[in-house]
Amino acid sequence: MIHFAGNPILLYVNSNNSAINPGQTAFMTLDVYAVCPMPNKTLKISFGGRDFIFVTSAGTDESGLIIPVATTGQSVTAWGQTVFNAFTQNYDLLSNFNILGWISGSRYYISFESKERSAAYTMSFVNNGITGIELYGAIRPGIDIVPQPSFGILGRVMDESHRLIGEDIKPVDATGSAWFDFSEYFMAFFQSWNYNVLNILN
């Protein structure tokens, strides 16, 4: 009794049957195939009803929307890393997407995959004059998770003779998971067990 007093007994349960449609993350890849030494050129990345317009510049600021121009003699892959760094400086992109950059041959690729499965993260890309950056492949749209109506997980606590000690039904979160705290059931069980032992001793 002392051991269980006031201590939660937590059980984490996950079900892969909680959704009619499990949804899909949004995904987009850009191909950096040449350098851009010219300032004041722009590209636009949009998602969730918001537009993020990046501009090439010889300077820097705290906007998270500056792509430094390529310097004299800078390689495509080196400038591609600069472009990647510029995207990761943008709070909104970094907060909502996993951003990866890698070199393949003489090119630099940058991918964006949404951290959540939702249509709201479907991206679009428009290049308004930045040399050397283009969309690679097709944009994969995000798809919303469609949950099972009134879906929940039933948790039961049984003793060694398979007698029911307690049970509870919990709704699941967006990941199909639920937390159970069975401490009250165990407390009641041990209180009952102690009561029965005292009756026998008496």
End residue of a domain, out of 144, 168, 187:
144
40 and 123 in one domain? yes
DSSP 65: -
| 101 domain-assigned | yes
Q: Is the pLDDT of residue 134 over 50?
A: yes
179 and 94 in one domain? no
Q: Is the pLDDT of residue 194 over 80?
A: no
Q: CB-based burial of residue 7 (10 Å sphere; 0-12 exposed, 13-18 middle, 19+ buried)?
A: exposed
Q: Is the pLDDT of residue 197 over 70?
A: no
E strand map for the chain: 10-14, 19-21, 25-32, 42-47, 50-57, 66-68, 97-104, 107-117, 124-128, 133-135, 146-147, 152-158, 164-171, 177-181
Higher pLDDT, 22 or 35: 35
Q: Average per-residue pLDDT in the chain?
A: 83
126 and 37 in one domain? yes
* Continuous H helices in the chain: 76-88, 91-96, 183-201
140-169 per-position pLDDT tens digit: 999 987 766 776 676 777 777 777 777 777
Closest listed residue to residue 53, CA positions, set 158, 127, 139: 127
Higher pLDDT, 22 or 46: 46
106 and 84 in one domain? yes
Q: How far is CA 41 from CA 36, 131, 139, in A?
A: 9, 8, 23
DSSP tally for the chain: helices H, then strands E: 3, 14
Higher pLDDT, 5 or 18: 18
| 135 domain-assigned | yes
93 and 191 in one domain? no
| 3 domain-assigned | no
Tell the residue number behind the tokens 């007698």, with chain if given: 163
pLDDT score at 69: 96
63 and 40 in one domain? yes
pLDDT score at 128: 85
Confidence of residue 111 (pLDDT cuts 50, 70, 90): very high
Percent of the chain with pLDDT over 90: 55
62 and 85 in one domain? yes
70 and 88 in one domain? yes
Higher pLDDT, 197 or 75: 75
| 44 domain-assigned | yes
Task: Compute the average pLDDT of residues 59-78.
Answer: 93
Give the chain's domain count: 2
For residue 74, what are its two tokens? 């800078």
170 and 123 in one domain? no
- How far separated are the first and last CA of the chain, in Å rounded? 20
pTM over 0.85: no
Is the separation of the CB atoms in 69 and 165 below 8 Å?
Answer: no
115 and 157 in one domain? no
Query: What is the domain extent for residue 48?
Result: 23-144
